[in-house]
Amino acid sequence: MDKIKISAVAYTNTKAFIYGIENSGIQEQIDLSLDIPSDCAAKVIDGTVDVGLIPVAAIPHVPHATIISDYCIGSVGAVNSVFIFSKVPASQIRTLKLDSHSRTSNNLARVLLKFYFKLDITYTTDPDAETDAIVLIGDRTFGKKADYNFAYDMGEEWMKFTGLPFVYAAWVANKPIPEAFLTEFNAALKLGLDNRKELLKTLPHNPDFDVEDYLMNKLDFELTEKKREALSLFLSYITQL
Ligand SMILES: C=C(O[C@@H]1C=C(C(=O)O)C=C[C@H]1O)C(=O)O
DSSP secondary structure letter of residue 57: G
Angle between helices 104-111 and 154-162 (to 10 degrees): 50
Q: Ligand 1, residues 15, 62, 82: which to mutate, most atoms within 8 A of Cβ?
A: 82
Which of the listed residues 62, 105, 141 should we mutate to test ligand 1's pocket, taking the one with most ligand atoms within 8 A of CB?
105
- CATH 3.20.20.10 matches 82-162: no
pLDDT of residue 1: 62
- In angstroms, the CA 97 to CA 185 distance is 37
Give the distance, in angstroms, between the CA of residue 154 and the centroid of all CA atoms in the same chain.
12
* Contact predicate 214/145, CB 8 Å: no
Stated length of the chain: 241
Q: Do domains 4-75+166-239 and 82-162 have the same CATH topology?
A: yes
Which ipTM did the prediction report? 0.97
Query: Which ligand 1 atom is nearest residue 11's CA?
Result: 13
Q: Which atom of ligand 1 lies at the shortest distance from residue 103's CA? A: 9
> Given the CA of residue 79, which atom of ligand 1 is nearest to it?
1
Structural domain spans, the chain = 4-75+166-239, 82-162
Rounded Cα–Cα distance for residues 44 and 41 (Å) = 5
- Buried b / exposed e across 133-164, counting CB within 10 Å, b at 16+? bbbbbbeebbeeeeebebbbbbbbbbbebbeb
Nearest C-alpha neighbor of 167 from the set 216, 232, 94: 232
pLDDT of residue 165: 99
Ligand 1, atom 5: closest residue by C-alpha = 168
Atom of ligand 1 nearest to the CA of 102: 9
> In which residue ranges of the chain is pLDDT below 70?
1
pLDDT tens by residue, 179-210? 999 999 999 999 999 999 999 999 998 999 99
Determine whether domain 4-75+166-239 maps to CATH 3.40.190.10: yes
Determine how many CB atoms are found less than 10 A away from the CB of residue 183.
Answer: 10
pLDDT of 175 = 98
**Residues contacting ligand 1 via CB (< 6 Å):** 9, 11, 13, 37, 55, 73, 79, 81-82, 102-105, 137-138, 168-169
Q: Whose CA is nearest to atom 4 of ligand 1?
A: 168
